Amino acid sequence: MATVLLLRHGETEWNREQRVQGWAPVPLDERGREQARAAGEHLASAYAIDSVISSDLERTRETATIAGESGLPDPVFDRNWRERGFGVLQGLSYEEAFGDRPEFDVTSGEPDTTEARPENGESLLDCQERVLEGWASVLEAVGPDGTILVVTHGGPIYVLLAHLEGIDLPTMFDRDHQANCAINEIRVETTKSSGEPDVEIVRQNDTSYRESD
């Protein structure tokens, strides 16, 4: 079976401050760089990775570059793996962004949260559409026994896992928060002649490879 690894980016200052990042050009902080380095060392030793695809935003670019110092292939950047675009909410604290705007918080219990679109931003369904385009491209690229690493963000990981598990987006987003540089491992049967490939999710939100979080 083929293997697809999803790696969330390393920590940023905005992560620590609980600010909405969206598409903002936010770099990793020093802890995030250490996380990316540890992830790269683990991935290079545990898997024979054939190719790396990364979101083109700054924090994922930096994560992929630092992880790659351990001998991983050079990344190819794909905007389909970007975080959800939050438009005018970008840069606000979570409380400022969602406290008075529960329609943009998919876990709020408000109706139609997956369709709500912030000004100059995306709805969650918009994000889902492009992430699934990215997933289709990964399935086309990975060989029957190949391994691809995708460096991305929490939002796209939740969107893809919800699709693969057949559960709704609010339920998925209400799960435990994806940690920075958490690894998610998906095994894929790519040789089926028709229909969706068989998938098995064998690791989710895993940071056990590093000594401390």
pLDDT of residue 121: 98
* C-alpha–C-alpha distance, residues 164 and 85, integer Å: 22
pLDDT of residue 193: 62
Residues in a beta bridge with 188: 2, 199
The active-site residue, picked from 9, 42, 122, 153, is 9
Domain ranges of the chain: 2-206
The active-site residue, picked from 11, 42, 62, 83, is 83
* C-alpha–C-alpha distance, residues 46 and 16, integer Å: 29
State whether CATH 3.30.420.60 applies to domain 2-206: no
Residue 9 bears catalytic tag: yes
DSSP-derived pairing of the beta strands 75-77 and 51-54: parallel
pLDDT of residue 97: 96
Spatial contact of 52 and 72, defined as CB atoms under 8 Å apart: yes
The residue to which tokens 């369904």 are assigned: 125
List, run by run, the mean pLDDT of 10-residue segments along the chain (213 residues): 97 98 98 98 98 98 98 98 98 95 94 96 98 96 95 98 96 93 95 75 96 64
Residue 177 bears catalytic tag: no
* C-alpha–C-alpha distance, residues 63 and 152, integer Å: 9
* C-alpha–C-alpha distance, residues 112 and 114, integer Å: 5
pLDDT of residue 159: 97
Three-state secondary structure along the chain?
A: CEEEEEEECCCEHHHHHCECCCCCCCCECHHHHHHHHHHHHHHHHHCCCCEEEECCCHHHHHHHHHHHCCCCCCEEECHHHCCCCCHHHCCCEHHHHHCCCHHHCCCCCCCCCCCCCCCCCCCHHHHHHHHHHHHHHHHHHCCCCCEEEEEECHHHHHHHHHHHHCCCHHHHHCCCCCCCCCEEEEEEECCCCCCCCEEEEEEEEECCCCCCC
pLDDT of residue 195: 64
The residue to which tokens 């590093």 are assigned: 210
Phi, psi of 181 (to 5 degrees): 60, 25
